[in-house]
Amino acid sequence: MAKNFPKLAVAALCALLLGGCASLEEMMPVTGPDGREVKHVYVTQPSFVQTGIASWYGGRWIGRLTANGETYQQGDMTAAHKRLPFHTHVRVVDLKTGNSVVVRINNRGPFIKGRIIDLSVAAAQKLGTYDRGIAKVRIEALREVPVLSKPNRKLPPRPKPSPTPAPAKAENAQPKKRWFGLF
């Protein structure tokens, strides 16, 4: 056992390191603020998971300001949550059907006991819960990985520094005195 201990320790350490590494998952394209489709890449292990009842909101809320200052539009893939930070992307999974959507938190709520998230009209329709009104769901806060727009682009060469000019000599400058030839 004593002879194999270093090998076992190294193997256990490698297993822990490899097991703790999160793989990446590419999600479906999301429409960005400028109307173009943007692909987001998320770490597969969510940073926050919660199970409960989801509902949707619309009607009188359409056109009003949300808690983060945006105007609520029923066609956006957004949602309201009580505690998650604004602009957090959340995967909402309907536990009955297995359907899922990714929404962005931009509002606070719901303020009805037992509910954990309020979806926009478009998100509820895409999830399949619009007609039912409420659904038992699991929400997962996703951690986004930044994606470079041009990852293989070469950087431009750095400009070479120009030589520093020699200091100008003063006309009345006197030569340095040497003290014992040392200075």
Give the CATH number for residue 52: 2.40.40.10
Assess contact for 90 and 118: CB atoms under 8 A. no
Assess contact for 66 and 94: CB atoms under 8 A. no
| Whether pTM exceeds 0.75 | no
Range(s) of the domain holding residue 68: 48-145
Q: Based on the structure, what is the number of domains in the chain? A: 1
* Rounded Cα distance, 77 and 107, in Å: 12
The tokens describing 148, both together, are 């470079």
Asked whether the predicted pLDDT for residue 165 surpasses 80, the reply is no
Q: Is residue 82 in a domain? A: yes
Q: Is residue 62 in a domain? A: yes
**65 bridge partner residues:** 71
pLDDT tens digits for 30-46?
555 555 666 667 777 78
Strand bridging mode 24-26 / 89-94: unpaired
DSSP string across 69-107? SPBP-TTS-EEE-SSSPTT-EEEEEETTT--EEEEEEEE
Q: Is residue 99 in a domain? A: yes
Phi, psi of 93 (to 5 degrees): -115, 120
Q: Is residue 180 in a domain? A: no
pLDDT for position 18: 40
Share of the chain above pLDDT 70, in %: 60
Asked whether the predicted pLDDT for residue 175 surpasses 70, the reply is no
Average pLDDT of the chain?
77
pLDDT tens digits for 75-87?
999 999 999 999 9
pLDDT for position 164: 66
More confident position, 29 or 55 = 55
User: Stretch 67-95: mean pLDDT, rounded?
Assistant: 93
pLDDT for position 25: 47
Asked whether the predicted pLDDT for residue 122 surpasses 50, the reply is yes
pLDDT for position 26: 46
